[in-house]
Structure 1
Amino acid sequence: MAKKKITKVEEGTSSQAEPKKFVPTEEAKGKATRLRVIAGLLWLLALGAQAGAIALLFKQPVNMMWIIILIAVDLALAVSGSILWKKSNRLDPASKSNKFMFFMQSQLGLVVAVIAFLPFIIFVLGSKNIDAKQKGILGGIAAVALVIAGITGVDFNPPSVEEYTEQTARVEELTGKNEVYWTKSGSKYHLYDDCHSINRDATTEIFAGTVAKARELKNITELCKFCENRSVKEKEAVPVSEPEAESILEGVLETIEE
Structure 2
Amino acid sequence: MMMAVTRNQPVIGLDGFRNGWVAVAIDGAGCAISFPADISTALAAPFTRAAIDIPIGMTDDGERACDKLARDKLAPHRSRVFTGARRWLWEDHTDPDEANIEASRRGQTRASRQLWHLGRKIMEVDAFVRAHRDCDIREAHPELVFLRLNGAPLPSKKTEQGAKLRRDLLVAAGFVEIDDWVTRARLGTGAKPDDLLDACAVALAARDCAGCVPEGEAPRDAHGVAMQVWF
State whether TM-score is above 0.5: no
More helix by share: 1
Q: Which has the larger radius of gyration?
A: 1
Higher relative contact order (CA 8 A, sep 6+): 2
Q: TM range, normalised to the smaller chain?
A: under 0.3
More strand by share: 2
